[in-house]
Structure 1
Amino acid sequence: MGLWSIRRWTKPRATSRYRVPLTAHQLWMVSLSAPVSRDRDASRGTLYPFTRIDDERARDWLAEQWGITTRDQLAARLDELHRAGYRARAAQLHGVSPLAWDAALYVDISRRGFGCGLITEAEAWTALKNIVPSVVSTYGSWREYADHYLLGRQVWRDDLRAGGGTDLPAPQATADAHLRALLDPANRASPWNQAPWTTISHPDRAR
C-alpha cells in the first residue's frame, strides 16, 4: 500500500464530524448523486462526499474538473446546471434532454462544495432542495432516473470522443454495472433501496 493510501485511510471518518443521521428526505436528495459516486471511499449516506474527512481532495477535484475555486464560481456552475446544463446541448444535437445527468452532477458538486468549505451545510441543503421539483416532475422511479443518467453520460462520452478527447472517463460498461448495483433490490447498501423514489413525496421522517 502506498503512502498516499495509508494517509487516506487514517483520516477521521466523516461520521465522526457529522454524527446526525440524515432524514429520509435528506438521504433521497443526497442519493441523486449516487450514479456519480463510484469510488470506494465515496459516501452515499452523508452530505459530506467521502467516508473520511478529506477537504483538500474535494477542493482539488472542483478546481481540476470544473475550474471552481470560489463561491461565486460554484454558484454560477450550479445555476447553469439547474437551468440548462448538458441537457440543452444533448437536446439540440440528439433530441434528448437527460435531466438526470445534470441533476447528479449538480448534487455531486454541491456536496463537494460543502466538503471543502465553499458553502455551508445549510447552503448545501438549500441547493439540493432547489433541484428536487424538476427531478420529481420528470421521473417516476429510480430506474427512470438511472436510464436517463446513463443516456446523458453516453451522449457526453460521444461528444468527448468526437472532439478528439484522449482522457476519456471510465467505460460505459463501468457506469452500467454501478447503476445495476444501485437498482438491485437485494443490495441493502444501495441508498436507492434505503430511500425509495416515493420517499420524497411523503412527509419527512427520522431514520
Structure 2
Amino acid sequence: MHNQSEVPCVITDDAALSSEQKLWLISLSGHLSMQNGYSLNTLKHHSKNETDESITNDNLSILNNGYGVTTKEELIKTLNVFYNTSNSQVFMNCMAELTRNDLLARYNIENKSTAYQNTPIGIMSDWAGIHKFSLARGGIRAFDIGRYTFLCRCGVDVNFLTEEEAWHYLKPIGKLAQTLFVSWQEYATSYVVGRCIWQKIKILQTYSEPNPDFNFSHDLFEKINDSTTTLQNILADDEHPWCQLDWEIHF
C-alpha cells in the first residue's frame, strides 16, 4: 500500500544538486519531453524556432488542456495527485490477486470474460497478469512519475514555479522512482503499460500471445501516440542520458 502523503514543501536544501543529478531528474520526463520537442539538457524548454512567448503559450495550453491546470496552486495539487497515484494501487491489487493462490482461485471462479471484459478493471487485470513479476515493485507508477516531472518543467516555463522550486519538487520524485524500479528499462516498461491502461488499450490489441515484449501494430502506435517508438528510440540511443546515467545515482 502506498503512503498517501503530499509532495514535500519547498525548503532550503544545503546539498545542491550536481549537473549529473539534475540531468537524471530531467530524464524522468524523457518520453513526454521528446514528444513535445523538449531537450534534456536544461530544465527550461529552449528552441531556436520558438520565441519565449511562444514557448510560454504552448506550455500554458498543455497545462490547461491536458491537465486542467491554470494556476500554481492547481499545478501543485496535480503534482500531489501524481505523487500518490491511485491507479497504480488498483494495478498492484490486481497483481496481488494474480500471485496469491487464495485470491487467484476467486479471480478464476468469477466469470471474468463477462463480468470484466472491456471494463477498466478488466483491462488493468489483463495487463497485471502479464507484468505481475516484472512490475511487482513499481506497478505503473512510472507513467505518473514521468508526467509529474514534465509538468514541473512546464511549470517553470510558464513561471508557476521557479527553477529552485522545481528542483525541490523533482528531488523527492527521483528518490521515489529509485525505490520502485531497478533500471531505466523497467521504468520504461512501467510507463508504457501505464499509458496503455490509461488509454484503455486491451491486451489482445498488443499481443498475439502473452509475453513481456512490446511488438505493437501500426494501429496501436497511432492509439498511444507513438510513445512506445519514442521509448524504444531512447533505449537504442547510446547518447541518450538513459543509456549513460546510472539508475542508482545517489541523491
TM-score in terms of structure 1 length: 0.73
Which entry has the higher C-alpha Rg, 1 or 2?
2
- Equivalent residues of 2:63, 2:151 under 8 A apart: yes
Match of 1:182 in 2: 234
- Equivalent residues of 1:181, 1:190 under 8 A apart: no
TM-score in terms of structure 2 length: 0.61
Match of 1:8 in 2: none
CA deviation string 1:80-102 (max 9, x = no partner): 11012542354463355311111
Match of 2:67 in 1: 66
1:15-164 alignment runs, 5 A limit: 23-39=19-35, 41-51=37-47, 53=52, 54-91=55-92, 93=121, 94=124, 96=128, 97-158=139-200
- Equivalent residues of 1:31, 1:44 under 8 A apart: yes
Identical pairs, percent: 26
Letter in 1 for 2:33: S
SS in structure 2 opposite 1:37?
helix
SS in structure 1 opposite 2:33?
coil
Letter in 1 for 2:159: G
- Equivalent residues of 1:100, 1:145 under 8 A apart: yes
**1:173 CA displacement:** 7.6
**1:25 CA displacement:** 0.5
CA distance in 2, matches of 1:178, 1:99: 18
Q: Which moved more, 1:37-46 or 1:116-125?
A: 37-46
RMSD across aligned positions (CA):
2.5
CA distance in 2, matches of 1:40, 1:108: 10
Unaligned runs of 5+ in 1: 1-21, 161-167
CA deviation string 1:158-188 (max 9, x = no partner): 179xxxxxxx99434822211111111xx24
